[in-house]
Amino acid sequence: MKALKRQFMRPVMLGAALILGSGQALAADDSQWESGEQIYAKVCGHCHEAGVGPTIKGRSLPPSYITAIVRHGFRAMPAFRASFIDDQALQSVAEYISTSPAPQNEE
């Protein structure tokens, strides 16, 4: 029984290692995000278009300021880690916010 178990486990462990390895490669290769606009709509907008956070579009905030706040958080604003928004995606959402006009429904 013991010998049978050992024989069976070896290929299973090998398979698991291969699956984990390829999964990591995939995650590093392509972002789960399509565009800065999509990230803003799906993540930031929940607070920043709902009056929970201040309006951040239409203020020409520097992208470097936006990326720093997103990575480190700022008082009531939560930090977002690279495993959630990778550097490239963060840069694109920061540029999108920086260059977008203020939301229409403001004022």
Per CB under 6 A, does 103 bind ligand HEC? no
Two tokens at 81?
Answer: 């880690």
76 is catalytic: yes
- CA 46 and chain centroid, separation: 14
Per CB under 6 A, does 41 bind ligand HEC? no
d(CA 8, CA 21) in angstroms, rounded, equals 21
Other CB atoms within 10 Å distance of the CB of residue 3 = 7
77 is catalytic: yes
Q: Which residues bind ligand HEC (CB under 6 A)?
A: 39, 43-44, 46-48, 52-54, 56, 61, 66, 69-70, 74-78, 80, 93, 97
Active-site positions? 76-77
